[in-house]
Amino acid sequence: MSDPGQNAVARVGVIDYKGGNLRNALNALNMIGTPGRLVSGPSDFDGIERLLFPGVGAFGDSVAQLDRQDLRAPILDWLASGRPFFGICIGYQVLFEGSEEFPGTRGLGFFSGEVVRFPGDDPSLKVPHMGWNRVRPRDPADPVWAGLPREPHLYFVHSYFPRPADPAIIAAETGYGATTFASAVRSGAVFASQFHPERSQSAGLRILRNFLTA
C-alpha cells in the first residue's frame, strides 16, 4: 500500500529559471520522498499542486530570465490563486517590487517593498552573510516550524534581503551585526525565506516536509 502522506505531496513543481542551486533543491525533495518536477514554461504548471522557487543569483538576471521564459504571468497567477508556494533566496527576493542590486528592474511585485543591501558602514560585518544563523519565528505555531527548536539555526548565503512594506507578513527575523532583517515571510499559503532549507541539514528538510504536507 502506498503512503498516503507521500501521495498528498507527489506533484511538486520546481521553477527552473536556468539559475543555480536547482540540483540541491531537487536532491532535498528526493531525500524527503517527494520528487520535484521542473517548471520551465507556462505549460509545465499543469498538474502541479505545490510550487517551489529555489535558487541563487542576481536579482536583475533572474527576473529577466523569468520574462524570457514567459514565467512572470503564470507565477503571479499561481500566487494570486492561494495555492502553496515556497520561495527560497532569490525566489524570495523576486516576490518584491525591486532591488538596490538592479535599480529600475521590476520584480514580480507580489509583495510591496524593496530588496536592500547590508549596510557597508560596519567593517566587522562580512558581506555576503554566509553560514549558519539563528532564525526567530514570529508565530512558532505556524505549521512550517513544527518539530523545530524555538529558534532554529539555518543556512544563509546573501548580500541583499527584502524589506517588506507590510511588517504583518514577516514570519521570521534574523540578526546580523546591528541589522535585523526579515528572514521569512508568510501570506496565506505563500511562504518565502532568505535562508536555504535545502542546505540546512535536518532542520531544513523538516521545514520543506512541513511545507509540503501542511
Among residues 101, 129, 173, 198, the one annotated as catalytic is 198
**4-213: CATH homologous superfamily?**
Class I glutamine amidotransferase (GATase) domain (3.40.50.880)
Overall pTM surpassing 0.85 (yes/no): yes
Q: Write out the H or E segment, with its range, that includes residue 213.
A: helix 201-213
Q: How far apart are CA 64 and CA 114, in angstroms?
A: 17
198 is catalytic: yes
The total number of residues shown for the chain amounts to 214
Cβ-in-10-Å burial (0-12, 13-18, 19+) of 71 comes to buried
* Cell triple for 196: 536555504
Among 194, 199, 176, which Cα is nearest to 184's? 194
CA–CA separation, 50 vs 99, rounded Å?
26
Cis peptide before 128, with omega less than 30 degrees from 0? yes
- Active-site annotation holder among 49, 89, 100, 158: 89
Q: Where are the domains of the chain?
A: 4-213
Three cell numbers written together for 54: 529555489
Tens of pLDDT, residue by residue, the chain (214 residues): 333 344 344 589 999 998 878 999 999 999 999 999 999 999 999 999 999 999 888 999 999 999 999 999 999 999 999 999 999 999 999 999 999 999 999 999 999 999 999 997 777 789 999 999 999 999 999 999 999 999 999 999 999 999 999 999 999 999 999 999 999 999 999 999 999 999 999 999 999 999 998 7
Q: Residue 148 has which C-alpha cell?
A: 523545530
Quick check: is 196 catalytic? yes
Distance (Å, whole) CA 211 – CA 52: 10
C-alpha cell at 2: 502506498
The answer to whether 129 is a known catalytic residue is no
Specify the DSSP class assigned to residue 46: T
3-state class percentages of the chain: helix first, strand second, coil last, to nearest 5: 30, 30, 40
Helical pair 201-213 and 22-31, crossing angle rounded to 10 deg: 80
Query: How is residue 56 annotated by DSSP?
Result: B
